[in-house]
């Protein structure tokens, strides 16, 4: 791509040479020829890049072509998705793939050793990479990418433009048992399903369990990191971000536009209201309603309270010392009082 | 199944029509024709279900056939397991499976791209799903289900009626190293094994490491959720429940009938005594003995103590205020005392 | 091996019969004929072993051949690696493996259903086990073992003598998104790579994400347990040990010779300095610098401070009681004071 094309595409203002060839993106401090970088703040910079995306208020001289845009990091992400399209394997539909006759597979790529079950439909533009298992009666929308060695159980629905990273397991049985008279556990039926809406990304080796009787749902545009656990009947809204190793227990609801840090644990039947932000390693008790705002700690508290409590904790040593001194002063006063 | 058959099977008391056809289970508020639901408490209900399991003390009128049983949720689980048998793949032994000649495989289903190593035996009724790897000299009992893309390393023993969910890894090397003079780590031998008894369920992407020299053992009827880590030489008793993302360090013992919440961490060589319940995100220090009862927090404390301590924490602010006031009153008294 | 050979190999001092046949290692309390065990302390012992490695200061009589060495546990690990070489599959290069023509694969074992992409090189002595996926342009050094069902994404480099356990995912996209005006998330480019140096071990179902623009690096001799998350652009030094279920956020640096416990969480852009030890379940805040020493808690504190604070916490109840008593004594004094 030429710098002019990029500037037009991003509706940016080009300063410099509009005929520079750009082939990939790079970080500003390590970029070299043919590469485009970005700058978050309107400060002077030195870079080997052939072009740099800068904020609108940038008014420095630059040693290379610059393109002024409102949000350089966002536009950098956009141009990167064009310069670095997802790589296709060397084949379209590998001869080793085992695809049920009743399946309707229009995917662009079906890798080696993939298996696809009865009555499953995979829409056009999808990439199903090597060794992934797609069960029976699964529906997958357009242009979704299932990376290698994933397992999608029967009856799951996945929308369009989703990315499921390697080793993720979607639709395994939820974890629900009923004890009998002797304390032996019998599985509560786990015959519901999982519905993943459009533009969702799910990280490597994460697990999304099927609903017990109803559905587990992940809303449009939600992004889930690696090694995350989503239990049965959880409902996650749109544009939610969940960082690595967090676990959401059964029937909990996370509304739209929440941000959940890493290693957070949520009990069952909790509700996180739209816009809430929960810090890493926090714990949400079962049934808890988490209001909008920033939350921290176990059990979660508003960040301000958490900080105040932590400051008080730090002050305990001093308070203890003070109580000791007061005790002595008090004893002295009492003694004097008695002497009178 | 007819309602009469179900009532007989569960030794329940039928009220209503004993010839209603039932084909599947459902939740009481979303059930419709041909479906059976359950009700935990003897309250009036409205449901589209064709039949509902209710407690013995239920004495309301109902709009559909009811069957009175002692534990409706448990009987619901039992009838679900009959109405919804595990689905079989469209094949019995897929032609792509690679099975060692010396292996004795009597499984009902061997999926596509399965590999089974030398001297391994898989008993009748087992389902080994697509892409699972069963190593050499493995023994698997009757009717056990290994879901897709699992890895069972060499020499592991798995009992009958177990369910291992997708992506689980059983028998990888334990994590044990010995540093040499230069600080380089050498692996301590990890040549033991894993023994999984009957009726155990292990969640998706969970890991059970082999013993270093001895065995790692998981007792009969124990249920383990997704993304759980069981380290080398851990011994888990019978009917233990371990929720998602918990991690049990080397040589720790969990006795029968314990319940372990999610994201719990246990240090090595700890012992959790029979009947103990440990809350989510708790931490058990190495070597700790956890007695029967309910435990919470890091390091774990009895729940009552944990609550008392938390209440005291909340009271620090007030105490601080009080100490401040007392300081002033004391200073005033001292001043007056000196004036006299 | 004969006891004489073992003694020579370990430069140990043999006392007893130097012609005893040894075929495997075992724990001292369960060892029997043909087995060698070790003893950490110079105490008397009873063992069915044919030979025992003992400390230099051992001066007891023993019922079997002993070999005195400086570090019995380390020498036990060394001799075990010779007596128990890693098992080879029954085949060398399985006919089902799909290997790109442009790939240069000199591995000793390539299992069933393995796929290896374009321009990838796998050096001699490697074992790539069943169902593992090696992407395009991957480089793997000598004698590295990739266990079953691993996924190595494109462009990753893995050194020599590494062990990657089953289900591990190396090189998935990092978790980085840029929100647009409407709150929708766009992926920040994740086009960097992962470099794993020599002698690294990575546990089952662990994830190491590729760098966003640069690299994620794991230094020589580092050992990582199961279910660990290493985010994009993390740099881990040499001889670092990370226990199970810990998660390291983006761009964090862990210098050489650190030990990280299980379930530890680290925020992004933190730095753990060489030699630091971080206890299990600890939390390191983003940007935090962790100096050498032992650290504990969330947020991490030096162990001594953590213990002092915990002791103070335990003392709150007593302090509260004391404040109550002082309040009464103070009131009495004030009353008397007023009476005068």
φ, ψ dihedrals at B303, nearest 5°: -55, -40
Check residue B87 and give its pLDDT. Answer: 59
Report the Cα C174 to chain-centroid distance in Å.
Answer: 21
Q: Hey, CA dihedral for C37, C78, B191, C34, is it positive or negative?
A: negative
Give the closest of C130, C166, C320 to B115, CB-based.
C130
CB-CB neighbours of B215 under 10 Å: 18
What is the residue-averaged pLDDT of chain B?
Answer: 93
**Which two three-digit tokens encode residue C121?**
């090189």
Active site (catalytic) residues of A: 232
Q: CA-to-CA distance for A188 and A23, rounded, in angstroms?
A: 55
Render pLDDT for C153-168 as a digit per residue (tens, 0 to 9).
999 999 999 999 999 9
Q: How confident is the model at residue A338 (pLDDT cuts 50, 70, 90)?
A: confident
Give the closest of C151, C177, C245 to A245, CB-based.
C245
Residue C308, min C-alpha distance to chain A (Å): 9
For residues A247-275, average pLDDT: 98
Check residue B78 and give its pLDDT. Answer: 93
C233 Ramachandran zone, left/alpha/beta (phi>0; psi -120 to 50): left
User: Which segment of B150-164, B307-321, C38-52, C248-262 scores lowest on mean pLDDT?
Assistant: B307-321
Question: A243-272 as b/e, with b when 16 or more CB fall inside 10 Å?
Answer: bbbbbbbbbbbbbbbbbbbbbbbbbbebbb
Q: Does A227 touch chain C (CB under 8 A)?
A: yes
A74:C189 CB<8 A: no
**Which two three-digit tokens encode residue C157?**
């480099």
Q: CA-to-CA distance for A143 and A106, rounded, in angstroms?
A: 10
Res. A340: pLDDT tops 70: no
- Give this complex's ipTM: 0.92
List chain C residues with CB under 8 Å of A334.
329, 333
Res. B60: pLDDT tops 90: no
Res. C10: pLDDT tops 60: yes
Q: Does C91 touch chain A (CB under 8 A)?
A: no
Give the closest of B96, B129, B244 to A175, CB-based.
B244
A213:B323 CB<8 A: no
Contact between B273 and B279 (Cβ < 8 Å): no
For residues B240-261, average pLDDT: 98
Q: Which residue, among B275, B289, B216, has the nearest Cα to B240 in the 3D structure?
A: B275
Q: Do strands C177-179 and A193-196 pair parallel, antiparallel, or not at all (unpaired)?
A: unpaired
Res. B322: pLDDT tops 70: yes
SS3 B78: helix
Residue of B nearest to A166 (CA): B167
Check residue C86 and give its pLDDT. Answer: 66
For residues C125-145, average pLDDT: 96
CB-CB neighbours of B258 under 10 Å: 23
Q: How confident is the model at residue B327 (pLDDT cuts 50, 70, 90)?
A: confident
Q: How confident is the model at residue A87 (pLDDT cuts 50, 70, 90)?
A: low
Check residue B339 and give its pLDDT. Answer: 73
Judge residue C336's burial from the number of C-beta atoms within 10 Å of its C-beta, 0-12 exposed, 13-18 middle, 19 or more buried: middle
Residue C322, min C-alpha distance to chain A (Å): 8
Render pLDDT for B83-92 as a digit per residue (tens, 0 to 9).
987 654 445 7
Q: Cα-Cα-Cα-Cα dihedral of C296, C299, C305, C310, to 10°?
A: -80
Over pLDDT 90: what percentage of chain B? 82
Check residue B308 and give its pLDDT. Answer: 87
Q: Which residue, among A52, C255, A115, A51, has the nearest Cα to B131 in the 3D structure?
A: A115
Check residue B86 and give its pLDDT. Answer: 67
C27:B187 CB<8 A: no
Check residue C37 and give its pLDDT. Answer: 95
Q: CA-to-CA distance for B292 and B290, rounded, in angstroms?
A: 7
Q: CA-to-CA distance for C22 and A336, rounded, in angstroms?
A: 84
Q: Does A255 touch chain C (CB under 8 A)?
A: no
B108 against A322, higher pLDDT = B108
Res. A339: pLDDT tops 90: no
Give the closest of A96, A183, A330 to B239, CB-based.
A183
Render pLDDT for A13-47 as a digit per residue (tens, 0 to 9).
999 999 999 999 999 999 999 999 999 999 889 99
A187:B199 CB<8 A: no
Check residue C323 and give its pLDDT. Answer: 83
Q: Does C241 touch chain B (CB under 8 A)?
A: yes
pTM above 0.90, yes or no: yes
A169:B320 CB<8 A: no
A26:C333 CB<8 A: no
Q: Which residue, among B300, C268, C288, C269, has the nearest Cα to C278 in the 3D structure?
A: C288
How far is the CA of A149 from the CAs of A50, A101, A112, B156, in angstroms? 39, 22, 11, 23
Check residue B239 and give its pLDDT. Answer: 98
Q: Which residue, among C254, C257, C256, C237, has the nearest Cα to C246 in the 3D structure?
A: C254
Q: What is the largest CA-CA distance in chain A?
A: 105
Render pLDDT for C22-53 as a digit per residue (tens, 0 to 9).
999 999 999 999 999 999 999 999 999 999 99
Render pLDDT for B127-137 as a digit per residue (tens, 0 to 9).
999 999 999 99
Q: CA-to-CA distance for A27 and C251, rounded, in angstroms?
A: 14
Give the closest of C187, C283, C322 to A281, CB-based.
C283
**Catalytic: which of C127, C147, C232, C235?**
C232
Check residue A86 and give its pLDDT. Answer: 67
Check residue C216 and give its pLDDT. Answer: 98
Over pLDDT 70: what percentage of chain C? 98
SS3 B183: coil
C281:B265 CB<8 A: yes
For B33-68, give the DSSP string. TTEEEE-SSS-------SEEEEETT--S--SSEEEE
Residue with tokens 């069972």: B152
Q: Which residues 160-219 of C have a C-beta within 8 angstroms of A?
A: 167, 169, 172-173, 175, 177-180, 183-189, 191, 205, 207, 209, 213-214
């Amino acid at each position: 791509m030429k710098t002019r094309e990029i500037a037009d595409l991003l509706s940016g203002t080009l300063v410099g040479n509009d005929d520079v060839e750009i082939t990939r993106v790079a970080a500003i401090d390590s970029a070299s020829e043919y590469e485009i970088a970005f700058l978050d703040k309107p400060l002077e910079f030195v870079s080997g890049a052939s072009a740099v995306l800068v904020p609108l208020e940038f008014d420095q001289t630059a040693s290379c072509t610059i393109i002024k845009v409102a949000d350089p990091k966002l536009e950098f992400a956009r141009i990167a998705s064009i310069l670095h399209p997802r790589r296709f394997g060397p084949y379209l539909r590998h001869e080793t793939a085992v695809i049920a006759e009743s399946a309707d597979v229009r995917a662009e790529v079906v890798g080696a050793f993939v298996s696809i079950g009865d009555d499953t439909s995979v829409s056009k533009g999808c990439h199903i990479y090597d060794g992934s298992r797609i069960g029976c009666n699964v529906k997958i929308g357009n242009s979704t990418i299932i990376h290698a060695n994933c397992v999608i159980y029967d009856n799951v629905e996945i929308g369009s433009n989703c990315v499921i990273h390697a080793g993720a397991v979607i639709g395994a049985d939820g974890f629900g048992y009923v004890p009998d008279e002797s304390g032996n556990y019998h599985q509560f039926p786990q015959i519901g399903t999982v519905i993943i809406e459009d533009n969702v990304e799910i990280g490597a080796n994460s697990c999304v369990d099927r609903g017990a009787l109803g559905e587990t749902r992940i809303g449009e545009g939600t992004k889930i990191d690696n090694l995350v656990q989503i239990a049965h009947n959880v409902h996650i809204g749109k544009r939610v971000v969940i960082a690595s190793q967090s676990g959401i227990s059964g029937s909990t609801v996370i509304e739209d536009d929440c941000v959940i840090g890493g290693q957070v644990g949520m009990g069952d039947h909790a509700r996180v209201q739209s816009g809430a932000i929960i810090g890493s390693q926090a714990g949400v008790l079962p049934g808890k309603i988490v209001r909008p705002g920033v939350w921290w700690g176990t059990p979660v508290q508003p960040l301000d309270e958490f900080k105040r409590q932590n400051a008080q904790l730090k002050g305990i040593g001093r308070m203890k010392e003070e109580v000791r001194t007061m005790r002595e002063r008090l004893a002295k006063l009492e003694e004097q009082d008695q002497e009178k």
